[in-house]
Amino acid sequence: MKFVVDAGSDEVLGAALLCVDSQELINTVALVMRTGVTATELRDAIYTHPSSTEAFNEVLGVLA
C-alpha cells in the first residue's frame, strides 16, 4: 500500500493498493479523493478491527 500525498495541502493525490481486500479499500481512497478528506483525517480515523482498513493508520502514520 502506497499513497501519494501533496505535502502542502495534505491532499491524497493517488494510491497503489496491492494487498488483501484492495478491491474494497480503493472505494474508501476514491471517496477521500473526491470529497477532499485529508491524508491526516484518513490516518486518524478509527477502523473496524480486524479489517484491512486498519492499514491506513499504519501506512499514513509516517505523516506525523
Amino acid at 52: S
Name the grid cell of 32.
477521500
| Catalytic residue check, 49 | yes
Residues 9 and 64: their CA atoms lie apart, in Å, by 14
The residue type of 59 is: V
In the set 7, 23, 49, 62, the catalytic residue is: 49
> Residues with catalytic annotation?
49
